[in-house]
């Protein structure tokens, strides 16, 4: 599968990798019952790259929702199915593929049956993997088995930030010089499906 478009659109798209933005989060250790909250501080993150998680049709109004592009979790590499191609994490998979062979071998029979009955599902529902690209720097993953040079990156859906930017008028009218990479239609569809599953889960107490 082609992961990135060879000729990106002259517009900002859901899933695009961009650079040049600052992300921030308020940190409140002691939520207050009174207004206004007096004890807080702002954590500022200046990632080299971030991904746009605003839907394409909603880009505008001088606002973007971004999440930082970060290094992958070394634990992913313990599973041979993931290690062969980390973007496999972006798609539904069989229960056997979702865990390392050793873990599946010792799993209680009732748990195996439960997972097999459920069918294919996402593993690590909170993240999406971006394939290597010459525009993205490689880094070193430290493992007991030996260090590994890695070009894959990832985003976590729980680390989204709203950024205000006067130049974001609409998808085709914004700071396009900040756009580095655009997902292919298939990769963007995979991101859309997985993030929808992440936010669309029904909690056990409501599943009645």
Report residue 116 as tokens: 């097999």
Using a 10 angstrom Cβ sphere, with 0-12 exposed, 13-18 middle and 19 or more buried, the burial of residue 134 is: exposed
pLDDT at 170 exceeding the cut of 70: yes
Query: Which percentage of the chain shows pLDDT scores above 90?
Result: 75
pLDDT at 208 exceeding the cut of 70: no
Site of tokens 């599953």: 197
pLDDT, one tens digit per residue, over 69-109 is 999 999 999 999 999 999 999 999 999 999 888 888 888 88
Measured distance CA(35)–CA(175) in Å, rounded: 37
Identify which of 112, 105, 152, 160 has the alpha carbon closest to the alpha carbon of residue 133.
152
pLDDT, one tens digit per residue, over 8-39 is 999 999 999 999 999 999 999 888 877 888 88
| Statement: the pTM of the whole predicted model exceeds 0.75 | yes
pLDDT, one tens digit per residue, over 98-145 is 988 888 888 888 888 888 888 899 999 999 999 999 999 999 998 888
Residue 183 carries which DSSP code? B
Report residue 199 as tokens: 């936010």
Measured distance CA(179)–CA(204) in Å, rounded: 40
Higher pLDDT, 58 or 208: 58
Site of tokens 């478009």: 5
Q: How many CB atoms lie within 10 A of CB 21?
A: 19
Q: What are phi and psi of 186, to 5 degrees?
A: -65, -45
């Amino acid at each position: 599968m082609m992961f990135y478009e060879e000729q990106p659109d002259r517009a900002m798209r859901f899933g695009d990798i961009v650079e040049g933005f600052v992300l921030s989060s308020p940190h409140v250790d002691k939520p207050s019952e009174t207004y206004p909250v007096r004890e807080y501080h702002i954590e500022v993150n200046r990632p080299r790259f971030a991904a746009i998680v605003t839907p394409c049709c909603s880009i505008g109004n001088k606002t973007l929702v971004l999440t930082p592009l970060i290094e992958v979790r070394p634990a992913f590499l313990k599973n041979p199915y993931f290690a062969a191609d980390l973007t496999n994490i972006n798609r539904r998979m069989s229960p056997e593929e979702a865990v390392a062979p050793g873990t599946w071998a010792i799993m209680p029979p009732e748990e195996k049956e439960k997972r097999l009955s459920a069918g294919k599902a996402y593993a690590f529902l909170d993240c999406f993997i971006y394939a290597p690209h010459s525009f993205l720097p490689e880094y070193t993953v430290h493992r007991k088995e030996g260090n590994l040079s890695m070009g894959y990156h990832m985003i976590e859906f729980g680390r989204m930030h709203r950024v205000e930017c006067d130049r974001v008028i609409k998808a085709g009218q914004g700071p396009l010089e900040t756009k580095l990479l655009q997902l292919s239609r298939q990769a963007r569809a995979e991101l859309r499906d997985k993030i929808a599953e992440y936010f669309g889960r029904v909690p056990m107490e409501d599943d009645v």
